[in-house]
């Protein structure tokens, strides 16, 4: 997606050989106009897939999940929680997800009431590194008897194995921008 790639090249910073820092517009400070455009682009890719629900993981994926759901016709967004909460009962689906960025193992959970069996679900997230978040959400959807209609990410780290592994497993994976590497702090984007 042209607008996202331009923002990455203008504002993004590569740290070391694996960290793509784009928090000034994507996942800490959010550029609402860009998020809206990303949601429309994702929705256009999945047009005709009859999506019932958009699923993401808290918290960085919520903004683009919402704009995607709005562009798909104002369908519900459900987000998997990374921590326990008093207002979420014990009747949940869970999966273990290792966070590449935080270097921790999280148990993600979704209330069973929010994923009706038979729903067609689109998974949306901000980043894809090793694919653990999408695999965890796919596990939850399997437990719920839902169908994974596809997955979309804003930024895929093409130099890590997640995207290749998910595509090989049959997931319709759509990435708005793919980073092929980092060279002296400069983010190298894949050409279309």
Residue 80 has pLDDT above 70, yes or no: yes
Tens of pLDDT along 89-125? 679 999 999 877 778 898 999 999 999 999 999 999 9
Question: Tell me, what's the pLDDT at 88?
Answer: 65
Mean pLDDT of 75-80: 97
Dist. CA 165–CA 130, nearest whole Å: 8
Q: Which domains does the chain have, with CATH numbers?
A: 36-180 (3.40.50.2020)
Question: Tell me, what's the pLDDT at 90?
Answer: 75
Sign, CA torsion 137/90/70/64? negative
Dist. CA 179–CA 176, nearest whole Å: 10
Residue 157 has pLDDT above 70, yes or no: yes
């Amino acid at each position: 997606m042209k607008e996202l790639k331009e923002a990455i090249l203008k504002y993004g910073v590569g740290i070391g050989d694996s960290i793509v820092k784009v928090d000034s517009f994507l996942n800490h400070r959010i550029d609402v106009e860009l998020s809206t455009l990303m949601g429309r682009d994702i929705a256009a890719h999945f047009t005709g897939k009859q999506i019932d629900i958009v699923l993401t993981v808290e918290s960085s994926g919520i903004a683009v999940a919402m704009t995607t759901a709005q562009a798909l016709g104002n369908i519900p967004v459900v987000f998997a929680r990374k921590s326990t909460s008093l207002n979420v009962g014990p009747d949940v689906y869970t999966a273990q997800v290792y966070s590449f960025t935080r270097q921790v193992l999280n148990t993600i959970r979704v209330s069973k009431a929010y994923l009706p069996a038979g729903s067609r679900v689109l998974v949306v997230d901000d980043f894809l590194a090793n694919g653990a978040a999408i695999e965890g959400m796919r596990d939850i959807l399997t437990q719920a008897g839902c169908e994974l209609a596809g997955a979309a990410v804003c930024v895929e780290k093409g130099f890590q194995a997640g995207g290749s592994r998910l595509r090989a497993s049959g997931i319709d994976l759509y990435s708005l921008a793919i980073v092929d590497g980092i060279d002296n702090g400069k983010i190298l984007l894949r050409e279309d």
